Structure 1
């Protein structure tokens, strides 16, 4: 492990590693993803107030640096002098919020644009501003119950999806810098693909197209996303009723936890005739266990 990473930035998960037609049990390392709520302390001495500013999905570690950088780049502070301190909030209500809620103390004389803060930021580890301001709100989105009768997909079919997706990525071939989200049928037919500079945007476009076409919930579909599988992507897929989500990259710990809770099948590292099954492996048929 990287000695510069805190031990809370990664964790291990039991997975089923698939190579060709063979499958074996193994351990995998996940990058931890947890919400960090940023609060502001402000006002003159003796009349200090506190308010939530944002929730960002991040890998734990260097939280104070993350907070300070966010405040600076968002224009809430202009120099180190505007910030008198950052601390983990001691008055959290839930154990899981401990060291996941920080308060940035602004200098007493620093002017604060309160109307602007009413348009609070919900920043993601990869997508920017989304408009939520509490940890509970991240987990509160209502998701439909995913089907328990399938679909059942041949293991060999999963190997074919990345190439089918890449062949349809016209913009990626031109730019080399776009993410994609693609919907497939249980037989591997590419049904819908959208590209965007943001992973979340690409998936939102796919789900939006299905919504406008009256096709939700997508209970008989497979989703393949470029890049890694984050909590937000898993949550979006669950809201759309997608039972199988595959990612070219790695999932985070929170993505695996969410997919497990939703009853979703989550696959990672789907490339070069290999992939890992993180949960819901019963929907993947035909593996040969070693």
Structure 2
């Protein structure tokens, strides 16, 4: 199985002085996700938590909604022949191919070429059709009052503390400087889980997949914080997991804001200390009156 980090030779130039030394880099390898034995998607990721990554991806695709929807998740053989690593299927087990078998009775989506292309490229869907699709496909709507619990309200001061806690917990980033991070926080500001990956969407999928397998979905009173920007794809993954608040230390995209407004997601960007921009769902943020 691939390592999280690798060492590579590098030439360092510092204040005019030149030296040769090894540098620690984050590992990046492709992972193919198969569904009931059929190829569905390929993503570039940092090895580790691969089963959670596959499960979280399938939550965002609307295939999974509970741990009971999964019969098994296994590594399986790739296409490379290697007698010393022989695995079922005739190829080498590179630990870069994961097959998710659905439980009996769970609907299998139509895996078309079009679907495979857009998931492989990690570009997501675009435009009004995708907004409609996410709003109607999620099993865990966040815009309505479907719970007897009091409405979620988050103090700005609590949000302000989260980026620092996220940064302190980024252990692999400290060694490589090359990873995105995503973390789940409770409404009281407790960090429940953090994942790092070369792809910010993979980090979120790993969080959601671990939550699915532990029977925690929907994440209806959680805050999702990401270390970079908030793209449409990340907003989509939050909505599909029932997460009501998505915060990012950088900017959201216009389509992410559109999706947040369509689905009732609270979207916060440029979260840096006490400063932040609230783009949608301001009713969940205990803001002082600006009138």
Q: Report the TM range for the smaller structure's normalisation.
A: 0.5 to 0.7
SS in 2 for 1:270: strand
Q: 2:133 aligns with which of 137, 140, 148?
A: 140
Per-residue deviation, 1:128:
3.2
| Conservation of the 8 A alpha-carbon contact between 1:224 and 1:245 | yes
SS in 2 for 1:187: coil
| Conservation of the 8 A alpha-carbon contact between 1:121 and 1:130 | no
- Cα deviation, 1:143-201, whole Å, max 9, x if unaligned, reads 22115452111111110000011111111111111001100011100001000000100
Give the aligned partner of residue 128 of structure 1: 121
Give the aligned partner of residue 250 of structure 1: 251
| Conservation of the 8 A alpha-carbon contact between 1:185 and 1:222 | yes
Structure 1 portions without partners, runs of 5+: 1-115
Large movers: runs of 4+ above 3 Å = 116-120, 127-139
- Mapping for residues 6-85 of structure 1, pairs under 5 Å: none
- Mapping for residues 183-194 of structure 1, pairs under 5 Å: 183-194=184-195
| Conservation of the 8 A alpha-carbon contact between 2:270 and 2:277 | yes
Per-residue deviation, 1:272:
3.4
Q: Residues 121 and 150 from structure 1, CA distance in 2 versus in 1: closer, same or farther, beyond 3 angstroms? A: same
Give the aligned partner of residue 211 of structure 1: 212
Give the structure with higher Rg (CA): 1
Q: Residues 225 and 213 from structure 1, CA distance in 2 versus in 1: closer, same or farther, beyond 3 angstroms? A: same
Give the aligned partner of residue 279 of structure 1: 280
Q: Residues 281 and 136 from structure 1, CA distance in 2 versus in 1: closer, same or farther, beyond 3 angstroms? A: closer
Q: Residues 212 and 265 from structure 1, CA distance in 2 versus in 1: closer, same or farther, beyond 3 angstroms? A: same
Structure 2 length-normalised TM = 0.54
Number of aligned positions between the proteins:
172
- Cα deviation, 1:220-257, whole Å, max 9, x if unaligned, reads 10000111111111010000000011001101111001
How far apart, in 2, do the equivalents of 1:263 and 1:119 lie? 26
SS in 2 for 1:214: coil
Q: Residues 256 and 137 from structure 1, CA distance in 2 versus in 1: closer, same or farther, beyond 3 angstroms? A: closer
Give the aligned partner of residue 266 of structure 1: 267
SS in 1 for 2:206: helix
Query: As a proportion of its length, which structure holds more strand?
Result: 1
- Cα deviation, 1:56-114, whole Å, max 9, x if unaligned, reads xxxxxxxxxxxxxxxxxxxxxxxxxxxxxxxxxxxxxxxxxxxxxxxxxxxxxxxxxxx
Across the aligned residues of Structure 1 and Structure 2, the Cα RMSD in angstroms comes to 2.6
| Conservation of the 8 A alpha-carbon contact between 1:185 and 1:221 | yes
Per-residue deviation, 1:270:
0.4
Structure 2 portions without partners, runs of 5+: 1-111
Q: Residues 158 and 119 from structure 1, CA distance in 2 versus in 1: closer, same or farther, beyond 3 angstroms? A: closer
Q: Residues 212 and 133 from structure 1, CA distance in 2 versus in 1: closer, same or farther, beyond 3 angstroms? A: same
How far apart, in 2, do the equivalents of 1:236 and 1:251 lie? 14
| Conservation of the 8 A alpha-carbon contact between 2:226 and 2:248 | yes
How far apart, in 2, do the equivalents of 1:132 and 1:279 lie? 21
Structure 1 length-normalised TM = 0.54
- Cα deviation, 1:30-60, whole Å, max 9, x if unaligned, reads xxxxxxxxxxxxxxxxxxxxxxxxxxxxxxx
